Amino acid sequence: MWTAARLQRWLATSDFGGPIVVLANREPVRHDRAADGSIVVKQSGGGLVTALQPLIEACSGVWVAHGAGTADKAVVDWRDGVDLPPANPVYRLRRVWLDDDEQRGYYFGFSNEALWPWCHRAHVQPVFRSDDFDTYRAVNARFADAVCEEVDSNAPLVLVQDYHFALAPRMLRQRRPFSTVMSFWHIPWPRPRDCEACPWARDLLRGLLGSDILGFQTPSDCHHFVDAVESLLNARVNGARTVITHAGRRTVVRAYPISIEWPSRWARRSPAIRACRETVCRELELDAQTRLAVGVDRLDYTKGITEKFLAIEKLLELHPEFVGRFVFVQIAEPSRNTLAAYRALRARLVETAARINRRFGNGSYRPIVLLERHHEPADVYRFLRAADLCYVGSLHDGMNLVAKEFVAARDDDRGVLVLSQFTGAARELTDALLVNPYAIKDAARVLARALRMTEEEQTMRMRAMRALVSEFNAYKWIGEMLTDAARVRARLPSAALDACFDQLTPSIAG
């Protein structure tokens, strides 16, 4: 079983010198200036932060990220860093400042208008602007420099995270040839045909091949990546399709399904299930007998939130006995809201919820409650613990950690997870009720089945999922990558290295 303590022991006895450096665009916490002038600390949303924050704490490492908070500059030391958590510092957050043009080109432009829709099949067309790509390249170089400023050894261990930094692994390799670079791509990798649509696909592939270890969420993401390097770069690939040789270097490509901290600190610190339910019902002015479903997503078009609302509408149409007795609470964290696709989605969502509420609402009863604001994790867990079911309806999702957090939240072994078959999590959480989120009527039937599931069946399914997530936790995720990185670092001859990596996934959940 991988735990924080085992991870610490592993690192202490390994020959990786110096602290681990995580390079990720999103900072785990931001400092914002409140209206009264005081500084408030906010936990960032998204799966990446959920998984990595406990790990950086356990490793006492350094996290290099964009300083995006309005008071971020006010709290850093002379080296643009801050020690966290404030009450009991165990790791360092190094902030990199970006001006408006850099944010527009690198973050909003190339990362979120080009790469995000390029990788997700959610019917939003990627926009490839060469100016954005130039800025993306320049910003990747700035972050690579910041990482180098943070390391004191010639051979540091750097964890490069996600699609914001496809070029950084190669840049790091050029700056520190002896470093160990482990990169993880949190979102899906496009199918070969779609991959070719990006005018700079070869640059991205070459950039990522600066890594020693390159991790994806699922075996099919690995297949797509390896097919792309073979066809676009003419790289050499071993028989198991796990080791790529390109420009005289080897990169191991494998699936490491990401996970969450176990036991979850948020579940441990939560009030009892009954208290969570009471406060949620009181806040939303719901009858204590209400059947409660929740969804927790960033307000993103990949998350299938509109389709979830349509499924709720169909449920109430097909099963009028739930009208007045069933409420779906959708927590929607505002995200990337200067982009047109996100603004259009928001307008559609608000309008769809209002229409369904007009159709089935009565007096104070509204079947859909849309909570469009940031919720701190403690609050999210309160909703997850209060609910009869959690609906994750992504149209395409690398993993989706909300699904795993719902499981972590339910220490009462109750509650039903309704999970889109198009998430990475669906490969592991086979005891969820799987749905095709596009098939509105089928999804409505599954929701009705979830609401009618016996307590015995709920317990059986939840226990199986809890056993799985507890073993395949975030410490195991990083532990397996580190174990592989140590093998690569041992500089074995090709045949011996191939023998180590004869499977796409180091250990298989489910």
- For 194-198, the CB contacts below 8 A with 24+ separation are 194/118, 194/121, 195/224, 195/228, 195/232, 196/232, 197/118, 197/126, 197/128, 198/114, 198/115, 198/118, 198/126, 198/128
Residue 402 binds ligand G6P, judged by CB under 6 A:
no
Interface with ligand G6P: number of residues (CB under 6 A)? 11
Nearer to ligand G6P (CB atom), residue 25 or residue 270 = 25
Nearer to ligand G6P (CB atom), residue 162 or residue 261 = 162
Q: Find the helix packing angle between 455-471 and 401-409, rounded to 10°.
A: 120
Binding-site member from 3, 4, 8, 46 for ligand G6P (CB under 6 A): 46
Amino acid letter, residue 79: R
In angstroms, what CA-CA distances link 418 with 205, 441, 449? 35, 14, 10
Contacts of residue 501, defined as CB under 8 A and 6 or more positions apart, other chains included, come to 238, 240, 242, 243, 252, 254, 484, 487
For residue 506, cis peptide bond before it (omega within 30 degrees of 0): no
Residue 336 binds ligand G6P, judged by CB under 6 A:
yes
Residue 335 binds ligand G6P, judged by CB under 6 A:
yes
Contacts of residue 262, defined as CB under 8 A and 6 or more positions apart, other chains included, come to 408, 469, 470, 473, 474, 475
Residue 186 binds ligand G6P, judged by CB under 6 A:
yes
Residue 117 binds ligand G6P, judged by CB under 6 A:
no
**Minimum separation from the CB atom of position 174 to ligand G6P (A):** 24
Q: Which residue is nearest to ligand G6P (CB)?
A: 46
Question: 58-97 mask for ligand G6P (x: CB under 6 A)?
Answer: ----------------------------------------
Contact status, residue 444 vs residue 311, Cβ threshold 8 Å: yes
Q: Which stretch binds ligand G6P (CB under 6 A): 42-50, 71-79, 134-142, 480-488?
A: 42-50
Residue 187 binds ligand G6P, judged by CB under 6 A:
yes
Nearer to ligand G6P (CB atom), residue 6 or residue 104 = 104
**Minimum separation from the CB atom of position 45 to ligand G6P (A):** 6
Contacts of residue 368, defined as CB under 8 A and 6 or more positions apart, other chains included, come to 309, 312, 327, 328, 330, 353, 356, 357
Residue 330 binds ligand G6P, judged by CB under 6 A:
no
**Minimum separation from the CB atom of position 52 to ligand G6P (A):** 10
Contacts of residue 264, defined as CB under 8 A and 6 or more positions apart, other chains included, come to 381, 405, 408, 409
Nearer to ligand G6P (CB atom), residue 212 or residue 297 = 297
Q: Find the helix packing angle between 305-318 and 340-360, rounded to 10°.
A: 10
**Minimum separation from the CB atom of position 96 to ligand G6P (A):** 14
Determine the Cα angle at 375 with ends 370 and 379, to 5°.
Answer: 100
Residues 9-28 that bind ligand G6P (CB under 6 A): 25-26
As a whole number of angstroms, the distance between CA 217 and CA 189 comes to: 9
Nearer to ligand G6P (CB atom), residue 297 or residue 484 = 297
**Minimum separation from the CB atom of position 335 to ligand G6P (A):** 5
**Minimum separation from the CB atom of position 152 to ligand G6P (A):** 27
Three-class DSSP labels, 136-187: HHHHHHHHHHHHHHHCCCCCCEEEEECHHHCCHHHHHHHHCCCCEEEEECCC
Residue 98 binds ligand G6P, judged by CB under 6 A:
no
Quick one: how far is CA 228 from the chain centroid?
A: 23
Nearer to ligand G6P (CB atom), residue 186 or residue 461 = 186
Nearer to ligand G6P (CB atom), residue 175 or residue 336 = 336
**Minimum separation from the CB atom of position 54 to ligand G6P (A):** 16
Nearest Cα to Cα of residue 143 among 107, 100, 118, 172: 172
Nearer to ligand G6P (CB atom), residue 51 or residue 253 = 51
**Minimum separation from the CB atom of position 374 to ligand G6P (A):** 11
Residue 297 binds ligand G6P, judged by CB under 6 A:
no
Residue 47 binds ligand G6P, judged by CB under 6 A:
yes
Binding-site member from 27, 57, 162, 313 for ligand G6P (CB under 6 A): 162
Residues in the site for ligand G6P, rule: CB under 6 A? Answer: 25-26, 46-48, 162, 186-187, 298, 335-336
